[in-house]
Structure formats: structure tokens, C-alpha cells
């Protein structure tokens, strides 16, 4: 039974360590080439458009004007 506790403790510590490392993840590298920068900008604009559309849908559901 003592061996199981040791394994459980080791697993718990490993999970806690992994969670800490996941929270401290390094930010993704910035685009280097002009095409990469353009692609990233396109993605960001698409995300903003989707956010605006989501807000409009929520307003329509609630019945509040824009």
C-alpha cells in the first residue's frame, strides 16, 4: 500500500508541475516574412469580425439595439 501512495504522490506532483509549465508557456513567435505577417493580420481581422458578429447575435437575442 505504501508503494501505491508513493506512485500517487509522484503522479500528483508531476501533474502539478505540468500545470505550472502550461501556464508559463512562451508566447508564439512573431511572423518573420511579409506573407506570414499578412496571414496573421488576416487571421486577426477575421477573429475581430467573428467577435462583432457574436455580439450582434447576443444583442438580437436579448432584443437590445446596437
pLDDT at position 19 is 72
Helix, strand, coil in percent for the chain, rounding step 5 = 75, 0, 25
Residues 66, 59: Cα–Cα separation, whole Å: 7
pLDDT at position 26 is 65
Show Cβ contacts of residue 18 under 8 Å, excluding neighbours closer than 6 positions: none
pLDDT at position 44 is 96
- Give residue 4's Cα distance to chain centre: 35
Q: CB of 60 within 8 A of CB of 66?
A: no
Q: Please write the tens of the pLDDT for every residue from 2-59.
A: 556 688 888 888 888 877 666 665 667 788 899 999 999 999 999 999 999 999 999 9
Model pTM above 0.75: no
pLDDT at position 3 is 56
Amino acid at each position: 500500500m505504501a508503494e501505491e501512495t508513493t506512485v500517487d504522490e509522484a503522479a500528483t506532483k508531476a501533474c502539478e508541475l505540468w500545470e505550472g509549465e502550461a501556464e508559463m508557456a512562451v508566447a508564439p513567435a512573431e511572423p518573420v516574412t511579409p506573407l506570414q505577417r499578412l496571414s496573421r493580420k488576416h487571421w486577426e481581422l477575421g477573429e475581430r469580425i467573428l467577435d462583432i458578429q457574436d455580439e450582434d447575435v447576443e444583442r438580437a437575442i436579448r432584443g437590445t439595439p446596437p
